[in-house]
């Protein structure tokens, strides 16, 4: 059970970091930097969704 809780915490951390990066991208004055930050935010969001999906399966996957 603690493994799933740890994964949930990680998913939340990834979402939080993705949000921070997206906000930084919005503030970026350099278009290239903004695009780089948005791309990284998108990847983190996708990783969070993947890990969150693994949480939803829970112990059944074992």
Residue 53 confidence (pLDDT): 80
Please give the structure tokens belonging to residue 49.
Answer: 């969704």
- Whole-angstrom Cα distance, residue 37 to residue 20? 9
Residue 1 confidence (pLDDT): 41
Residue 2 confidence (pLDDT): 45
Can you tell me which residue has the tokens 């998108």? 42
CA 61, 11, 53, 42 torsion: positive or negative?
negative
- Whole-angstrom Cα distance, residue 48 to residue 8? 9
pLDDT in tens, the chain (62 residues): 444 456 678 899 999 999 999 999 999 999 999 999 999 999 999 999 998 887 666 545 55
Domain boundaries, the chain: 2-52
Q: Where are the beta strands (DSSP E) in the chain?
A: none
Residue 56 confidence (pLDDT): 60
């Amino acid at each position: 059970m603690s493994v799933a809780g740890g994964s949930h915490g990680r998913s939340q951390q990834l979402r939080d970091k993705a949000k921070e990066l997206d906000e930084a991208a919005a503030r970026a004055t350099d278009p290239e930097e903004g695009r780089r930050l948005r791309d990284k935010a998108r990847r983190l969001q996708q990783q969070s969704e993947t890990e969150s999906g693994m949480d939803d399966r829970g112990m059944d996957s074992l």
